[in-house]
Amino acid sequence: MEPRLVGPGPYRATRLWNETIELFRAGMPRGRRRSRLRTHERCFRASEAVAWLHELLRGNQNFGPEVTRGQTVQLLKKFLKNHVIEDVKGRWGQEDFRDDGRLYRFPPSSPLKPYPKRPSYGKEVIKFPGWNEPGAGTSQERTPVKPTVMNSEMWYKRHSIAIGEVPACRLVYRQKLTQTNIEQIWKSMMLSHLQKVLGLDSLDEVLDTQLVNPKHILHNVYNISKQGIVILEDKSKELPHWVLSAMKCLANWPTCSDLKQPTYTGFERDVFKTIADYYGQMKEPLLTFHLFDVFVSVLGLLHKNKKAIEAFQVSCLLLPPENRKKLQLLVRMMARISLNKDLPPLSDTTSTRTLMVQAFSHCILCSKDEVDLDELLAAKLVMFLMDNYDEILNIPSSLQISIEEHVGHLRRVQIKYAGADTDATFLAPSFCHQISTDEFEYQRANGSQEPLAALLEEIAMNKEISIKDKKKKLKQFQKSYPEVYKERFPTSETEAVLFPEKSKQKSQLLMWALKKPFQPFQRTRSFRM
């Protein structure tokens, strides 16, 4: 099996987990190993598993070459906890995995993680203000207008009125937009844009839209400083002054002007540890738990840099303002520290960039479910944030302009002519734009093949149906979707693994018939002339 790119969509973390397990089980070399005067078959040493899986993850485009050996050890600990592997005595769960010479093996069956059945959040119906009669005191009756014949000069002065008679008309006022209406419009158009960037049919599988607070979106867009940093109304949610001073000290090293820096050796490391300890004690990551699946889906677009940045921009606007501000300050500090050649090393064994990822990835992104690949996914996300923080943490200007124009359009007074359907002309922007042929083919293929691949996997791993029915279903699937089938079962050997071999003994009658010597055909007398 070859690693494949797992694109955005529901259950991406689960799909990555299952694929990593399958690749590990299919490719990890096993053999005879000796330990404590005993020989064990079809097993491997812990250090061998770490080395092999580390190379697999580094070469997998879903994770990348910056995966460390330590992260690989942590993943193998989760594999042991969830019975993906076991020691040669069959122990797992409570055992501790270490990068040493202890022997491990695979259990008979592969414990793939089932796709969770999430409750249907349901689509939120957002009511937009409709046409309505104005309040008392405003006359809005249909007043007939005397027909007049217009010349060309008058036509140029009065736009959108055809030459000829002026039809009867009336002013139609929009219902006054409340703050709640405006917030709901922003929320609806933001989520609609995010859905289209991710290429999903719905956000229901990756996000509970009812948990998205539209007040947070508007605050993150409009309450910002000249540097683009969020300004908080509640000062109690600000970073403590001593943490902010420590971050400024390292970010502007060695030209920090507001601190009298001590000169003792190791001062920089002490300051860094202070910052890491503060962010490490948070109970919830900055990219909150309920947005975990959204950001994991965005990671599936990293091979398309501009699309990923656009999706990150919108997703980060859904954060609470205090989270967004802490994220902005933290990522900006991390990026500056990583590029600052004048700053002394903060670790004797780890590069500064890797240290930033190890220290802060867990407080930026993690899931409630400890068996997910949250550590590897968080590391990849943090590295992308550090490399593109100037763009990601800015406001998507084109989207902001589109929403503001739509809100302004709804507020304007309209002229309605007799027989005209005014509401039909006020449709929300659809954000459609032309894409290349290659991008269209990619979206078409990934949008349809990933659910089909999940269906095929469910058929293949279903132990409740008989072998005969399973073969019949697989044959029908192969006939309908040969490309998806070939990707999962590239050779006949991979298909044969699903079905246990049965020894086929030839019947005694057939064996007896084959043992008879061959008798040539002879004419009988009845054929003679």
Q: Supply the mean pLDDT for the chain.
A: 80
Q: Which domains does the chain have, with CATH numbers?
A: 12-105 (1.10.10.10), 181-401 (1.10.555.10), 447-491 (no CATH)
Count of CB atoms situated within 10 Å of the CB of 507: 8
Separation CA 245–CA 278 (nearest Å): 13
- pLDDT digits 0-9 by tens, 45-65: 999 999 999 999 999 988 988
pLDDT recorded at residue 113: 79
User: Rounded to an integer, what is the distance from CA 61 to the centroid of its chain?
Assistant: 14
Question: Can you read off the two tokens belonging to residue 169?
Answer: 């008309």
In 62-126, beta strands by DSSP E: 86-87, 103-105
User: Going by C-beta distance under 8 Å and a sequence separation of 6 or more, which residues neighbour residue 470?
Assistant: 459, 460, 462, 498, 499
Separation CA 330–CA 473 (nearest Å): 52
Specify the higher pLDDT residue, 28 or 463. Answer: 28
Hey, what long-range contacts does 440-446 have (CB within 8 A, 24 or more apart)?
443/199, 446/7, 446/9, 446/199
- pLDDT digits 0-9 by tens, 376-409: 999 999 999 999 988 998 999 999 999 999 998 8
pLDDT recorded at residue 8: 87
Mean of the pLDDT values across residues 276-304?
93
Measured over all CA atoms, what is the biggest interatomic distance in the chain, rounded to whole angstroms?
Answer: 128
- pLDDT of 500 > 90? The answer is no
DSSP state of 368: S
Mean of the pLDDT values across residues 347-369?
90
Mean of the pLDDT values across residues 418-429?
47
pLDDT recorded at residue 142: 40
- pLDDT of 143 > 50? The answer is no
User: Rounded to an integer, what is the distance from CA 353 to the centroid of its chain?
Assistant: 24
By three-state DSSP, how is residue 103 classified? strand
- pLDDT of 423 > 50? The answer is no
Mean of the pLDDT values across residues 307-314?
94
Q: Rounded to 10 degrees, what is the CA torsion of 379, 395, 388, 333? A: -70
Question: Can you read off the two tokens belonging to residue 309?
Answer: 């940045």
- pLDDT of 432 > 80? The answer is no
Pick from 13-27, 355-369, 411-425: least confident: 411-425
- pLDDT of 425 > 60? The answer is no
pLDDT recorded at residue 232: 95
Question: Can you read off the two tokens belonging to residue 351?
Answer: 């590069």
pLDDT recorded at residue 487: 80
Of 371, 324, 318, nearest to 208 by C-alpha is 318
Question: Can you read off the two tokens belonging to residue 358?
Answer: 């190890």
- pLDDT of 372 > 60? The answer is yes
Q: Rounded to 10 degrees, what is the CA torsion of 40, 44, 47, 51? A: 170
- pLDDT of 434 > 70? The answer is no
User: Going by C-beta distance under 8 Å and a sequence separation of 6 or more, which residues neighbour residue 114?
Assistant: none
Separation CA 233–CA 243 (nearest Å): 19
Mean of the pLDDT values across residues 316-323?
96
Q: What percent of the chain has pLDDT over 70?
A: 74
Q: pLDDT-based confidence at 155, cuts 50/70/90? A: very low
Count of CB atoms situated within 10 Å of the CB of 306: 9
Separation CA 113–CA 116 (nearest Å): 9
User: Rounded to an integer, what is the distance from CA 76 to the centroid of its chain?
Assistant: 23
Q: In angstroms, what CA-CA distances link 483 with 257, 470, 472, 492? A: 62, 19, 18, 15
Q: What angle do CA 89, 90, 94 make, to 5 degrees?
A: 105
Q: In angstroms, what CA-CA distances link 149 with 54, 167, 393? A: 83, 11, 58
pLDDT recorded at residue 213: 95
Sequential DSSP letters for 212-246: --HHHHHHHHHSB-TTSPBPPS-GGGSPPHHHHHH
pLDDT recorded at residue 431: 47
Q: What percent of the chain has pLDDT over 90?
A: 45
- pLDDT of 132 > 80? The answer is no
- pLDDT digits 0-9 by tens, 163-177: 445 555 555 656 678
Question: Can you read off the two tokens belonging to residue 2?
Answer: 């070859």
Specify the higher pLDDT residue, 123 or 241. Answer: 241
Positive or negative CA dihedral for 4, 5, 8, 13? positive
Question: Can you read off the two tokens belonging to residue 29?
Answer: 């070399």
- pLDDT digits 0-9 by tens, 76-92: 999 999 899 999 988 88
Pick from 310-314, 446-450, 510-514: least confident: 510-514
- pLDDT of 526 > 60? The answer is no
pTM > 0.75: yes or no: no
pLDDT recorded at residue 109: 82
- pLDDT digits 0-9 by tens, 215-236: 999 999 999 999 899 999 999 9
Mean of the pLDDT values across residues 249-278?
82
User: Rounded to an integer, what is the distance from CA 203 to the centroid of its chain?
Assistant: 11
Pick from 133-142, 222-231, 436-445, 503-512: least confident: 133-142
